[in-house]
Copies of this chain bind each other. A is one copy, B any other.
């Protein structure tokens, strides 16, 4: 195997089981890239709490769900390092250093956070932790000295905020932090929800989870939104904006068959039920090996725990080194550094 030069930081907010949208949006490329890059997968439980502080049980359950989902899609713990965010307090200390380099006005201007705050109706009652989460992400990215951060277009502001912090830190304290680059072209198109809305989300009730049993998948598919203008199976149907076809585009390995189906649908030669039955089969075929691997991992629970434990310990070492570098660049002797510094130099 080639030595892995560049470092990727990626991860998930554990707020529920991962779904097909996570797969096309992040997990597929994560699996593809794992052999080429040194990948850290951060299970960002502290970040998940920033807007779930009064529902912590959601986060604590999802930590294990999300880890199993990652293993199920084929991430190999020999290849990637899984890290639990709350297990690395050094990330929080980096966050604290970076909070001094970002103004309140800048945080309030962040387009991603602005959109999310509007969705959640926060206004001035936004939890301070939520407003500051892009700074915590900067700590995650720089703490692991990531060169590359895979993001969707809508998350580019997160990487831009990190790059600003790195620029400012390095200009005040000297060249210390690694400047990360966003990695966007690795992502597929955003998968719509089963209700036809533009985004699949657990909280929107329009998701098909990677761990949904076959009968649940079938049920969700048969209830999917299709083409509201079509009254009868013999009416010409619309393929664009029809999530059933978006899913077939994403998951049917036989794309010629998808083209034929689209033509038949447009011509009124195939009904919604038939297309949905086909989609259900495609998804079950896609999910079968994933759920098979999940079952295997579920039977090796000690090992799952060990994956997160040892990954977190390994990640903590890396971030501790970065924190020491950062503190020493700022001029603050960390407790650890103090042991290495002769008192005559510091007093």
Q: What residues of chain A have their CB less than 8 Å away from a CB belonging to chain B? A: 45-46, 49-51, 53-54, 56-57, 59-60, 63-64, 68, 84, 86-93, 95-97, 99-105, 107-108, 124-132, 135-136, 172-173, 298, 301-302, 304-305, 308-309, 312-313, 316, 323, 327, 330-336, 338-339, 343-344, 346-347
Number of copies of this chain in the oligomer? Answer: 2
Dominant SS at the A interface? helix
Is the CB–CB distance between B107 and A335 below 8 Å? no
Is the CB–CB distance between A56 and B304 below 8 Å? no
Is the CB–CB distance between A124 and B100 below 8 Å? no
Q: How far is the CB of A88 from chain B (nearest CB, A)?
A: 7
Task: Give A200 to B332 CA distance when docked, in angstroms.
Answer: 26
Residues of B near A305 (CB, < 8 A) are 338, 343, 346-347
Is the CB–CB distance between A127 and B105 below 8 Å? no
Which of B45, B54, B88, B323 interacts with A172 by CB under 8 Å? B54
Residues of B near A60 (CB, < 8 A) are 330-333
Which of B93, B124, B327 interacts with A103 by CB under 8 Å? B124
Is the CB–CB distance between B100 and A130 below 8 Å? yes
Q: Residue on B with the closest CB to A337?
A: B87
Is the CB–CB distance between A125 and B103 below 8 Å? yes
Q: How far is the CB of A178 from chain B (nearest CB, A)?
A: 20
Residues of B near A90 (CB, < 8 A) are 89
Residues of B near A333 (CB, < 8 A) are 60, 63, 84, 86-87
Which of B87, B127, B136 interacts with A102 by CB under 8 Å? B127
Q: How far is the CB of A309 from chain B (nearest CB, A)?
A: 5
Which of B59, B92, B339, B347 interacts with A95 by CB under 8 Å? B92
Given A97-B46, A129-B96, A57-B301 contact (CB < 8 Å): no
Is the CB–CB distance between A308 and B338 below 8 Å? yes
Task: Give A105 to B127 CA distance when docked, in angstroms.
Answer: 9
Which of B56, B107, B124, B347 interacts with A332 by CB under 8 Å? B56
Q: How far is the CB of A128 from chain B (nearest CB, A)?
A: 5
Q: Residue on B with the closest CB to A168?
A: B53
Task: Give A89 to B143 CA distance when docked, in angstroms.
Answer: 13
Task: Give A100 to B126 CA distance when docked, in angstroms.
Answer: 9
Task: Give A339 to B91 CA distance when docked, in angstroms.
Answer: 20
Given A103-B124, A343-B305, A89-B132 contact (CB < 8 Å): no
Given A331-B59, A331-B60, A338-B308, A104-B87 contact (CB < 8 Å): no
